[in-house]
Amino acid sequence: MSSEPDSDKPHPHLTDLKTDKGRLVVDEYLEVPGHPEVFASGDAAAVPDLTRPGEVTPMTAQHAQRQGKQAADNIAASFGTGIPQPYRHEDLGFVVDLGGTQAAANPLHVPLAGLPAKVVTRGYHLLSMPGNRVRTTTAGSTTTWT
């Protein structure tokens, strides 16, 4: 939500809206309270985390992707197509590739480090790629494993 790409200046129409640490406050339907015409999701939005009452969802792609889809569905619902649904997603953990054999991962909240974390991290990233051809090419590349 900015007036210029990659700028932190809010759009002039949004300056009077409530923010939480710079993120636009929305309800669990990703709608700005009092402004049914404004939706926000991802890093730009402070979305209530229904799995952790009182908290907002962390700024991760895991949430941003799912919130974007939910926001689109809820916008469609506001025009009469479908029923608005609250955003709810149980965090699945994290994967961090630090290069070489160094990595950290917490798949389904099982803490891993070193090579096991590397295998999980690379496996997850490969599975996230679109299409088997891209996956196979990437998996076969030596740079994938260095």
Ligand X SMILES: Cc1cc2nc3c(=O)[nH]c(=O)nc-3n(C[C@H](O)[C@H](O)[C@H](O)COP(=O)(O)OP(=O)(O)OC[C@H]3O[C@@H](n4cnc5c(N)ncnc54)[C@H](O)[C@@H]3O)c2cc1C
Q: Which residues bind ligand X (CB under 6 A)?
A: 2-6, 42-44, 59-62, 64
By C-beta, is 24 or 29 nearer to ligand X?
24
Q: Which is nearer to ligand X, 18 or 69 (CB)?
A: 69
**Burial class of residue 105, CB neighbours in 10 A (0-12, 13-18, 19+):** buried
The minimum distance between CB 143 and ligand X, in angstroms, equals 18
Nearer to ligand X, 83 or 95 (CB): 95
We find the least distance from the C-beta atom of residue 138 to ligand X, in angstroms, to be 16
23-25 vs 45-46, strand pairing mode: parallel
Q: Which is nearer to ligand X, 83 or 90 (CB)?
A: 90
The alpha carbon of residue 65 and the mean position of all alpha carbons in its chain are separated, in whole angstroms, by: 5
Contact of 20 with 51, CB cutoff 8 Å? no
Measured distance CA(94)–CA(61) in Å, rounded: 10
- Phi, psi (degrees; rounded to nearest 5) at 89: -150, 125
Nearest approach, Cβ of residue 80 and ligand X (Å): 26
Q: What is the smallest separation between the CB atom of 70 and ligand X, expressed in angstroms? A: 13
